Structure formats: structure tokens, C-alpha cells
Amino acid sequence: MRIAVVGGGAWGTALAQVAAQGGETLLWAREPEVAASIADTRENKLFLPGVPLSSAIRPTTDLADLAACEAWLMVTPAQHMRRVLEAAPPSPRALILCSKGIEESSGQLLHQVAREACPDAAVMVLSGPTFAHEVATGLPTALTLAAEIEAEAETVRARLARPAFRIYLSDDVAGAEVGGAVKNVLAIACGVVEGRGLGQNARAALIARGFAEMTRFGLGRGARAETLAGLSGLGDLVLTCSSTSSRNFSLGKGLGQGRPATELMADRRTVAEGAFTAPVLRRLAEQEGVDMPIVAAVDDLLAGRASVDAVLERLLSRPLRTERA
């Protein structure tokens, strides 16, 4: 199975590094600077500096080259995935979604977007606690590959899995996606806790109550509770809520230190998906009557509608209730 990775950011590059252990791997990058950096120096100096890359990674900026590959790993930012798929050659056999987010314009999860754009492909979701720089340097990582058709997922797993890249199969596509999308918003909230110096008790409370929000939202979309409690949900939530290696966490930390979101976003070339997921997730939750107060607080902070102290006061003055509510 010939693999193409679509997206030359940190995660796309790390996934290409894994796939290249099993044979030549195409890596499509939008920017010529990224492809040239990999071709000339065997390093993605823009998005994954300091990691020597395999000679089996073949960079390209030409979407037409994807036609030669049977499986595409989609690693563009969530808001751009539909446009890239529409510009790409006809569907491959397998489309493996590795980005984490919800399409803002449609409110759709990415597997719904992919099915619309590529109705003939077997659509899967690969997600879990996976900082790109750790995967690219071969540190042990475990993640979930969710697909409706298990046989297709088995083929993809056989091609990608390595001893230090452990892939667990699941048939809960929506569940695997919801965890990755929602945790990015919650990681921003945990960064705010850190930046504002609110303490470790507050962070643990936020992870647990944030997980309750993720579960309520996920169950409403047909996700299973055990998927949300697995690698792609709770596992990824714990990772990104605990480390400044997370772009979402570090964005939140800046907000907690009192810097405006516009300034923090303008400073970065890398993507903090939670900033794009927060408004659409809040909108969907309100439409569907799902209580997500932490997500609403992050959305207000990002939009500059409320200060850190105001959202904190709002969260702490909510009525006391049972834990299962």
C-alpha cells in the first residue's frame, strides 16, 4: 500500500517519518519552502526543526502526485481539509484523517466532510496522545485507528504500525474524532489555569469536568463512552492539558497571562486548532442543549468578550450539583 501524507506541518512530517519505515512515502506540502527544506536538508526546518528525516520521504507540492498512492493520511488543519480534498485527484482507496477539529462553516466532524468530498473512499480516523516531535524521534506512542470496515483498517494498520507506534483498532469513528477535537479547547482552558497561576487542583478539576463536557457532547453524536475514555479522548486530554509542548495549552497560558488572543494568534505560524473549534463547538452545544460551560468560557476569552477573572467568576458561581450532572 503506497502512502501519501497530505500536509507538511509537524504532525504530517512525523507521520511521514513513521510511514517511511515501511517504504517510500510521499509528503505533500502546500508551501514550496517546506518541500525544499526536506528535499535539500532532510529536515522540516519550518515545522519540525531538529529532527533528521528519512531518505524514503519524497516531498512534493503537486497534488496530482497523490494519484499514485492508495492511502492518504490527511493532516491539513481542519478548516482547510475540504478545500484540499476538492483540489486533489479522485479518491484513494483509504482516507485516514489525522487532523483534530470541527469544520466551522458546516458544523461537521471531519469524517462527515471527507465522506462528502470523497464518497468512494474508506474513511478512517487516526487519533491519540501524539506529540509530533516525540513520534518523529521514535519515542513510544499508542493511538486509535477507527474505521467502519475493520478489514480496511487492518490493512492500514499492517502498513503503519511499529513497535513504538502502537495502533489499536476501533469501529467508533465519531468517538475517535470527538475526543481529539474537544480536547484542544480544554487544553486552552488548562493553559489559562497555568498562566493565571490558579494551581494544580484547578487544573485537575478542569480535566475531569472538561471530560464530562466531552462525554456529554460525544454521546449526543453517537460516540461510545469507552472510546471517549480511551487514547483518543481522555488519553489525549491528559497529554495536552499537562504540557507547554501543546500549542493549545501554550495559547491558553498566554491568555491567562493577560495577552489578547489576536496578538497571540498573530505571533504563530503553527496551528492551535482549539481556537477554531471553540466557536463552532459552542454553537453546536447550544443548538443541541448540551451543557459545556468550560467550552463557552474559552470561546468568550478567545473572542475578547470576557476577561479571565470574569469567566472564572462565572464558572465558580455555577449552582452546586451532583457529579454525574
Ligand X SMILES: NC(=O)C1=CN([C@@H]2O[C@H](COP(=O)(O)OP(=O)(O)OC[C@H]3O[C@@H](n4cnc5c(N)ncnc54)[C@H](OP(=O)(O)O)[C@@H]3O)[C@@H](O)[C@H]2O)C=CC1
For the annotated catalytic residues, the residue numbers are 183
252 in contact with ligand X (CB under 6 A): no
Taking CA atoms, 60 is separated from 6, 25, 32, 239, in Å, by 10, 11, 8, 32
State in angstroms the smallest separation of the CB of 226 from ligand X: 21
Choose the one of ligand 13P, ligand X, none that binds residue 168, judging by a C-beta under 5 to 8 angstroms depending on kind: none
Segment 39-58, which members bind ligand 13P (CB under 6 A)? none
SS3 167: strand
282 in contact with ligand 13P (CB under 6 A): no
8 in contact with ligand X (CB under 6 A): yes
141 in contact with ligand 13P (CB under 6 A): no
Strand runs labelled E in the chain = 3-6, 25-28, 57-60, 71-74, 94-97, 122-127, 141-147, 165-170
270 in contact with ligand X (CB under 6 A): yes
Q: Which of 45, 67, 44, 62 is nearest to 54 (CA)?
A: 44
Q: Hunting for cell 488519553 — which residue is that? A: 235
x/- site string to ligand X, residues 42 to 61, per CB under 6 A? Answer: -----x--------------
> Cell numbers at residue 206, please?
478542569
The span from the CA of 117 to the CA of 91, in Å, is 9
Query: Residue from 84, 125, 173, 295 that binds ligand X (CB under 6 A)?
Result: 84
The span from the CA of 305 to the CA of 57, in Å, is 45
Segment 128-157, which members bind ligand X (CB under 6 A)? 130-132
Taking CA atoms, 315 is separated from 87, 206, 229, 250, 293, in Å, by 44, 10, 24, 21, 7
First to last CA, the chain: 47
Choose the one of ligand X, ligand 13P, none that binds residue 101, judging by a C-beta under 5 to 8 angstroms depending on kind: ligand X
30 in contact with ligand X (CB under 6 A): yes
x/- site string to ligand 13P, residues 221 to 240, per CB under 6 A? Answer: ---------------x--xx
Query: In this complex, which beta carbon is closest to ligand 13P, that of residue 102 or of residue 187?
Result: 187
77 in contact with ligand X (CB under 6 A): yes
Q: Dump the DSSP string for 16-30.
A: HHHHGGGS-EEEE-S
Q: Let me know how many helices (H) and strands (E) the chain has, helices first.
A: 15, 8
State in angstroms the smallest separation of the CB of 245 from ligand 13P: 7
Choose the one of ligand 13P, ligand X, none that binds residue 80, judging by a C-beta under 5 to 8 angstroms depending on kind: ligand X
The residue ranges that bind ligand 13P (CB under 6 A) are 100, 129-131, 184, 187, 236, 239-240, 246-248, 273
